[in-house]
Structure 1
Amino acid sequence: MNPTTFKPSGWRPARRTALFVLITAGAASPLQAADELPDLIQRVRPSVQSVGFYKETNTPRFGFRGTAFAVGDGNMLVTNAHVVATTTDVGPDSVLMVNVRDASGNDQLRRASLLAQDNAHDLALLRVDGPALPALNLRQEADAPVREGQTVVFMGYPLGAALGFAPVTHRGMVSAIRPVAIPSPTATQLDARTAARIRGGAFELYQLDATAYPGNSGGPLFDVSTGRVIGVVNMVTLKGTRESALSQPSGISYAIPARHVLELLAQQPAR
């Protein structure tokens, strides 16, 4: 036997086994993430509600506008600023409401008020009457950074009443982290939101490879591995000039990083 080629029996398989154990111990597998997802959905569902305006003479009386989710003390909800913006179909006698669905599937309209809004990042903070909802945990700055390729899910009410007021979950990944593209201000492009972004400078958005629809706006974006909210789904930023969400869905959606929600919450007085 040639001594230069001899290797003890079992040496190479043992090395491979040790390497496999080291790799699998350091990261959750896709199968593990898939197993955790149903539990995550059930846990967060009571925190995600629909928001709109109620008017006695309208048909339907509750005009759905988007999604909101509970944070803080459970009576505060986060959504997009454009979801609760006053438009031509919202009169002075319209009332901001949150449609709260309980575990039995019963709907209850609760009056809400606008606590604060951040138009530059299209965020709004509401306070809703009644018992507190389960508050969701937001990603903190000390947590691991959000990365491209990270598996995420978002929950909301796509198309609102057309599909029924039951929250729907979509799964995807963070396909890119990119700054908002500020259009050149012209007579037709320069609106209040664009002006605010020009003053505040560009900020990053999470680009997702999952399709969101009207009604998903304001919904939470979750990190599957931790269950924390890492962003707020937004259908206005960039989408209005690039894709038509209904007739030609692109499979690309955007979310606002949760750090901007933390900044909005930090501005609220202690209760």
Structure 2
Amino acid sequence: MNSIADLVDKVRSGVIHIEYSDGSVRLGSGTGFMCRNLLVTNNHVYQAHGKPRVTLAWQPQPDPSSREEIEMSYDQFKSCFISGSPENDADFAILSVPLLAERALYQFQVASRASCRIGDEIALLGFPFEQRHLSCHVGRISSFYTQNGVEVIQLDASVNPSNSGGPLLDAASGRVIGIVTRKGTGLTRAFDELERLLTQNISRIGGLIAPEAAAPRLSGISLGNTALDSQTQLLQLAKEIKRSANVGIGYAFAIDHLLLDLPDTQDDRQP
């Protein structure tokens, strides 16, 4: 069996960084992968607000300077959509991007998740934290379950923001068995509750602040505004900590949900 490093070197050109920007301002990013000359990603990665510029990039060599990319308008990118499923369903999008299809990029094969078992080694590739160089995380399948009719693969591996849409690989075969969709931590509910309380405090303080002339003041500073600013800063900090916190838990949707939408996938169904 080849090493994970050999696998990454083999497939790296087929992992696509999907980046949105407005001028020089980066708005967000995600990951996708090539399969049968089509770009596959999460539906929520494909959907963007406004009219951003879209950069599709890949790193064919380990050297970060090897990054190659193409640019297009979001309208051009949207016109490439051929099939998909909403975020609250199987969360995938398939796009036919001619400028990618004409490049000599690695084309991933896919396999039903039934070919794998709990405990099998997996690798996930992508561009987490909006970084512009390819990253690989390795772990194991910790569970399979069905949620709202969608087959979910739970991972004992580090999934981070912008990993969304990337390929989940069976380390033994190198085939894609799932699409990375989100991370999870044991603190998720605690952070959600903290955000709720801080948002509630901000709303209450904002409603209680007196007009500027009547507001309590200390050394020329409005105490009401100071409390409001403090709660707002705490809320932003909590959101950033939640975004960055990682305890090595992630989730992917089984590739089975888009097998019928990919052309000529009969051979890929086999383990």
TM-score by structure 2 length? Answer: 0.66
2:116 is aligned with 1:158: no
> Structure 2: how far apart are the matches of 1:240 and 1:80?
24
Inter-partner Cα distance in structure 1 for 2:247 and 2:60? 33
For residue 216 of structure 1, the aligned residue among 151, 156, 163 is 163
What code does the residue aligned with 1:82 have?
H
| 1:66 and 2:30 are equivalent in the alignment | yes
- Alpha carbons of 1:117 and 1:97: their partners in 2 closer, same or farther (altered >3 Å)? farther
The RMSD of aligned alpha carbons is: 2.8
Matching residue within 108, 116, 125 for 1:146? 116
Tell me what 2:82 maps to: 115
1:248 maps to which residue? 245
Among 51, 56, 67, which residue is 1:98 paired with?
56
Q: CA deviation at 1:79?
A: 0.5
Per-residue deviation, residues 69-128 of structure 1 (Å, max 9, x unmatched): 0001x2x111101112133xxx23x24431233436133224343222211211011222
Aligned residue for 2:215? none
Instruction: Please list every run of 5 or more consecutive structure 1 residues that lacks an aligned counterpart in the other structure.
Output: 1-31, 181-200
Task: Give the one of 22, 37, 43 matched to 1:81.
Answer: 43
Equivalent residues, number: 201
CA shift in 2, pair 1:225/1:100, >3 Å: closer
Residue of structure 2 equivalent to 1:50: 17
CA gap of 1:114–1:95, structure 2 versus 1, over 3 A, is farther
Q: Is structure 2 residue 116 aligned with structure 1 residue 169?
A: no
Question: Given the superposition, is the C-alpha separation of residues 203 and 96 from structure 1 closer, same or farther in structure 2, using an over 3 Å criterion?
Answer: same
Seen in structure 2, the aligned counterparts of structure 1 residues 243 and 82 have a Cα distance that, compared at 3 Å, is farther
Q: Contact conserved, 1:211 with 1:253, CA < 8 A, in 2?
A: yes
Structure-2 change in CA distance of 1:225 and 1:267 (3 Å):
closer
Given the alignment, which residue of 95, 99, 118 partners 1:126?
A: 95
Aligned to 1:265, which of 262, 265, 268?
A: 262
1:225 alignment counterpart: 172
Deviation of 1:213 after TM superposition, in Å, equals: 0.3
Percent identity between matched residues is: 29
Which is richer in helix?
Answer: 2
CA spacing shift, 1:110–1:240, aligned 2, 3 Å: farther
Q: For the residues of structure 2 that align with 1:267 and 1:51, how far apart are their CA atoms? A: 25
Gaps (5+ residues) in structure 2?
192-241, 266-271
> Which amino acid in structure 2 is aligned with residue 175 of structure 1?
S
